[in-house]
Structure 1
Amino acid sequence: MSAAVVLVVAALVAWIRWPHDEPAPPPRAREYLDFTACLLTDAAGVLGADAAPVWAGMQAASAQTRARVQYLAATGATTADDAVPFLNSLAQGGCGVVIGTGTLAVQAIEKGAARFPSVRFVVVGMPLVAPNVTVVTASPDSPVDEAVRKVVVAAVPPAR
């Protein structure tokens, strides 16, 4: 009988001391920097042919730097004048860099960038000369997504 008691006590001690799977810690929210890169697109949004690689580059830059990225589709806009209010919304909304892709967005930047000299604008694939506008073009060595990633990373201020 005492052997059975010793065996039960030993089994109980082993069970108590046995490593138990601890629950995984709850997921933590990603901490972003106080910097936002914004994309202005046509009505197709980030699914459009022009915007998809740009959005991919912005997301890669966000993963690298912890900068926030967002986009705004100029829905209903058919002319540059129609798209300028969407551009104004991004520039006044705290975007540190505003990227435009597609004819409509680039024309809106051409019309509105001068009103926001402290905002850096980037246009993809179309020539535009203005003091606060950078032009990004693809090359065999740097596809659009990589070129955009580099521009956004360079625009993000150093973390303090």
Structure 2
Amino acid sequence: MSSRFWKAGKRRTVSAALAGACLVGTVGVAVWLAPDEAAEPPARARQYAVTQACLLTDQQGVAAAEAAVVWGAMQDSSAATAAKVSSLPVIGDQSVGNAVPYANTLVARKCDVVLAVGSTQVAAVTQIAPANPAVRFLVVGDTEASGNVTVIAPGAQTRAKVSEALAAAFGGRK
């Protein structure tokens, strides 16, 4: 009778030892496979401020010469203030009637500053500006400034003037 208890005790001891070895092995593997927090690369997503500037262009987008200059100034401003910048090309007929819905789209996107490059886009923006007094409009072209519309004459200083105007609009916010 005592031999039967001795065998049962031995089985329990062996079972407990195997369970312990499995537990130690599982914890060891988990620690070995766990990611090292110090080795994680920094987040690649850029943190933007709540301000946003949007550029209305012709169908060439920011590839057009004049738009590329303004886009460069917008990117400079974004780097300095963390403002989000985007562009929207007018697709199809390059008429004011076709460009107005695109300009209104930028207003609907809650752009704080809407920039326009090109005569059609400038005309569309100046047409919708009076109905949107909370939005600042910045146009590069030959037109009249009014209320919430700032005009920058195209030329050699366009990039610097756009950067200055955006810095004033964003007030250096981050």
Do these two structures clear the TM 0.5 threshold for a shared fold by scoring above it?
A: yes
Return 87-96 or 143-152, whichever deviates more.
143-152
Query: How does the TM-score come out when normalised to structure 2?
Result: 0.72
Counterpart mapping for 1:132-147 below 5 A: 132-138=148-154, 143-147=157-161
Contact 1:137 1:147 in 2 (8 A): no
Structure-2 separation of matches of 1:147 and 1:29:
29
What does residue 105 of structure 1 align with? 121
What does residue 138 of structure 2 align with? 122
Counterpart mapping for 1:10-159 below 5 A: 23=39, 25-138=41-154, 143-157=157-171, 159=173
Aligned AA (2:164)? K
Look up the SS of the partner of 2:65 in the other structure.
coil
1:77-115 CA-to-partner distances (Å, cap 9, x unmatched) read: 321111000000001210000000111110101211111
5+ residue gaps in structure 1? 1-21
Shift of 1:34: 0.3
Which is richer in helix? 2
Structure-2 separation of matches of 1:139 and 1:115:
29
Aligned AA (1:103)? S
Q: Greater CA radius of gyration, 1 or 2?
A: 2
Cα distance change of structure 1 residues 139 and 46 upon mapping to structure 2, 3 Å threshold? closer
Shift of 1:74: 0.5
Contact 2:53 2:74 in 1 (8 A): yes
Structure-1 separation of matches of 2:92 and 2:155:
32
Identity %: 39
For the aligned residues, what is the CA RMSD? Answer: 1.8
Query: How does the TM-score come out when normalised to structure 1?
Result: 0.78
5+ residue gaps in structure 2? 1-37
Number of residues of Structure 1 aligned to a counterpart in Structure 2: 137
Structure-1 separation of matches of 2:42 and 2:133:
43
Structure-2 separation of matches of 1:33 and 1:114:
26
Shift of 1:125: 2.7
